[in-house]
Structure 1
Amino acid sequence: MSVPALYRGLFDDAAVFPPGDLPLRRAVPAHLGHRSAWYADAVGPFLCGPALADELAQLGTGIPVGLVLPGGSSGPTAALSATAALDVVGVEIAAADVAATVGELAATLPAGIAAAVELPRDGAPEKSLDALAGTPYRAKYRTGGLTPAAFPPVAELAAFLVGCAERGVPYKCTAGLHNAVRHTDPETGAEHHGFLNVLLAAAAGSDRRAVEEILAERSGIVLSGAVISLTAPQIASLRGLFTSFGTCSVAEPLADLADLGLLRPPPLEDR
């Protein structure tokens, strides 16, 4: 069975990060299972911090790795040197000064390795996005976390999405997009963005009002209908912007898509 183009490579495996916090001895076999499953085309790289590199290398898996570097790190050069035994396909680096980070990447990042620069949540993404415009690097934005304050309001996330669309800067999201549809967590009160909301908001491009309305939508029926109506050119365009997001559970978003009738798993005997 072929995974629809809208979802191919959409789910980066962040199982070892909060709130999943899966130990490598469990996360790596699970990732290998994802890569051999019927939905393998939906799965992106295995995300990992430098601190786990030695243990991951000892497992000898050869899986594609996205190396996640925290803010204040010494940069990609030292991290890539320390992880030479891994199949690193990309780096993600948090930046207080995006322009400086772009300059460092341009000077030191080896050819063939992608990069995403995490923008600070300062409410004014324009300057940071200007620094990324015209470069080969993606923007990265934090869409959630362990506290309600870690989830950006609709207006803040819309400003980032519209800014990327206006400049042609592709982006990925990280944290918080556990489900397909926007909802309020009954335990924490956090306002979770839905990954379908973000996908459809990407299709709205630079129309700020439309982007905000889509991000605020809470009806799975409405969002499913909008997804079904997307044309192939629209899907190609929006996925050129919204490239992927990190999720600590690959299975959870797939289950949401199946529940909404947007993804049909094959019969058990065919898996």
Structure 2
Amino acid sequence: MTGIPSLFRGLFDDAAVFPPGDLSLPEAVPAHRVHRAAWYAEAVGPFLCGAARLDELTTLDLAGVQVVLVLPGGVGQLGPALAASRASGVDLVSVEIAATTPVPEVVAALDRLLPDGVTAAVEILRDGGDLARSLDALVGTPYRAKFRTGGLTPQAFPSEAELAAFVSGCAERKLAYKCTAGLHNAVRHTDAATGSEYHGFLNVLLAAGAPERAGELLAERSGKALAAVAGELTDCQIDGIRSSFTAFGTCSIVDPLADLAALGLLEHPLENR
């Protein structure tokens, strides 16, 4: 099992500059380059940066660094961020834009402004109203949905039922999606210090493959049970899972990999020498 199994390739977008990691950009960019050169490089997605920090980002050596701009302010940030990225020569591969206005307005702005070759994910805000209507607005577009799975307070974490509704809603509409925040570990657990109920990224992967059982799979707290299910997936099932759940932002790349190794789903190429 040496190397990165296909279930986890490109799964971990590098969100090191976001809480709770909070690395400075001068620390995070070189660290990203190290990740991209490591034995686990196939697991590592692009580098995520808030649009408000673009000026600072462009003072650094970005050779070989693919950038995703995160736009929490919605469509008002889109045009200026795209113009600034073009002027600076950043290798912009995607934007992630919060639906602070109705999703059809966000889609219209992306259709109008997004350059060829740059993808987008639209964050469906948890307090943004009708989930079904928001997802419906993405059907037939090239844009992924995005959902927030945690944060710095217990209230920032959606319930199993809420996350299951998002996963199954995307499956019904054949929408690809990514997640952000809170998926620090493979398996669902309760944080002893804060009491927050953390979702597991392995739970979400398996729920993506069986959306009719999403609630059950998201609630599972046995790593052994989840690893057993993951170990039985066929190549076709894995392709289906990853065409649905494409990635998530994580402030640590190494910690999720350590979880997978502990579950027997990943092997460090040097650990048995």
TM-score tier by shorter-chain length is: over 0.9
In 2, distance between residues paired with 1:199 and 1:40? 20
1:78 matched residue in structure 2: 80
In 1, distance between residues paired with 2:270 and 2:118? 37
1:121 aligns with 2:126: yes
2:49 matched residue in structure 1: 48
Residue 51 of structure 1: how far off its partner (Å): 2.3
Q: What residue identity is the alignment partner of 1:111?
A: D
1:107 aligns with 2:108: no
Instruction: Please list the CA deviations of residues 4-26 of structure 1 after superposition, one character each: whole Å capped at 9, or x if unmatched.
Output: 11001000000000111000111
Runs of 4+ in 1 over 4 A off after TM superposition: none
1:14 matched residue in structure 2: 15
1:25 matched residue in structure 2: 26
1:225 matched residue in structure 2: 228
1:213 matched residue in structure 2: 216
Alpha-carbon contact 1:64-1:88 (below 8 Å) kept: yes
Residue 124 of structure 1: how far off its partner (Å): 3.4
1:38 matched residue in structure 2: 39
In 2, distance between residues paired with 1:73 and 1:186? 38
Q: Under a length normalisation based on structure 2, what TM-score does the superposition of the two structures give? A: 0.95
Gaps of 5+ in 2: none
Q: What residue identity is the alignment partner of 1:68?
A: V
Equivalent residue in structure 2 for 1:191, among 184, 188, 197: 197
Alpha-carbon contact 1:90-1:115 (below 8 Å) kept: yes
In 1, distance between residues paired with 2:58 and 2:18? 18
1:249 aligns with 2:240: no
C-alpha RMSD of the superposition: 1.4
In 2, distance between residues paired with 1:191 and 1:269? 35
Residue 72 of structure 1: how far off its partner (Å): 4.3
Gaps of 5+ in 1: none
Farther-moved stretch of structure 1 (133-142 vs 82-91): 82-91
Instruction: Please list the CA deviations of residues 104-128 of structure 1 after superposition, one character each: whole Å capped at 9, or x if unmatched.
Output: 1111111100000000103731000
In 2, distance between residues paired with 1:103 and 1:169? 18
1:148 matched residue in structure 2: 154
In 1, distance between residues paired with 2:239 and 2:158? 26
Q: What residue identity is the alignment partner of 2:99?
A: A
Residue 55 of structure 1: how far off its partner (Å): 2.2
SS in 2 for 1:173: strand
In 1, distance between residues paired with 2:271 and 2:203? 30
Residue 50 of structure 1: how far off its partner (Å): 1.8
Residue 73 of structure 1: how far off its partner (Å): 5.2
1:90 aligns with 2:94: yes
Alpha-carbon contact 1:50-1:83 (below 8 Å) kept: no
In 1, distance between residues paired with 2:51 and 2:111? 21
In 1, distance between residues paired with 2:171 and 2:194? 32
In 2, distance between residues paired with 1:55 and 1:121? 30
Alpha-carbon contact 2:184-2:200 (below 8 Å) kept: yes
Residue 268 of structure 1: how far off its partner (Å): 6.1
1:267 matched residue in structure 2: 270
SS in 2 for 1:132: coil
